[in-house]
Amino acid sequence: MELSDRTVFAIIACMVIVFGVGVGLVEMHPNVLAGPKGPVNIELEVTDRYYNSTLGYQPSYFVVVNGKLTSSATISIPDYTVINLTIIDKGKGYNPIMPQFLNVTGTTNGKMILRNITGNTTVVTSHVNALGHSFTIMKGSSVLVNLPVVPMHITNAKFILHSGVFTWQCEAECGGHGNPMGPPMGVTSWMDGTVISE
């Protein structure tokens, strides 16, 4: 069987493309081919802290490091790694939110584990009926990960991020004193910040 010039050209072109994609993947990140690393545990806590004399105490996200509450302004996580995220909401208040943020988005199994803070109820779910806050990771205007955070509950879910600088924010109307879209909504290290995945 003789292959026509055109067929030979097509085969060579395919080989070049496959080789190029392979090199591209390896150069992009070794874990793309090797599979994600992890899991790496990240723990967040939502609890009240003093905002100012007008608003008094308001809910705020913290990163828990060795049992201590630290700033949530920048949350650094390893890329291409399974992140095992736990969020404990010590607040008691429920807040309005756009309905899509009642859903779990972007986790490895599309679900999260929701445990009562006292540990006596645990459910695996992709939706809640009401929440206090959301932990929402955005790339521009698109949602990468959304976790509904329920008062007096512990939220736990796994997700993987590619390399990049993203934003995190709470989408609930949790602003204080008759201004639900006001502070601490949109305030860095309270209900808003950066996620660096590298």
- Binding residues for Cu ion, rule: CB under 5 A, are 133, 170, 172, 174, 191
Between 61 and 80, whose beta carbon lies closer to Cu ion? 61
DSSP class of residue 68?
E
Closest Cα to residue 137, out of 83, 64, 71? 83
> What is residue 87's three-state secondary structure?
strand
Residue 123 · residue 104 · CB < 8 Å: no
Least distance (Å) from Cu ion to the CB of residue 17? 47
> What is residue 1's three-state secondary structure?
coil
Return d(Cα 54, Cα 2) in angstroms, integer. Answer: 85
Tokens of 176: 């204080």
Between 147 and 174, whose beta carbon lies closer to Cu ion? 174
Written as one letter, the residue type at 108 is T
Q: Which residues are CB-contacts of 195 (< 8 A; sequence separation ≥ 6)? A: 74, 75, 76, 77, 137, 161, 165, 166, 167, 168
Between 101 and 159, whose beta carbon lies closer to Cu ion? 101
Between 44 and 170, whose beta carbon lies closer to Cu ion? 170
Least distance (Å) from Cu ion to the CB of residue 135? 9
Least distance (Å) from Cu ion to the CB of residue 109? 25
Between 135 and 159, whose beta carbon lies closer to Cu ion? 135
Least distance (Å) from Cu ion to the CB of residue 118? 22
Provide the β-strand partners of residue 198: none
Least distance (Å) from Cu ion to the CB of residue 42? 18
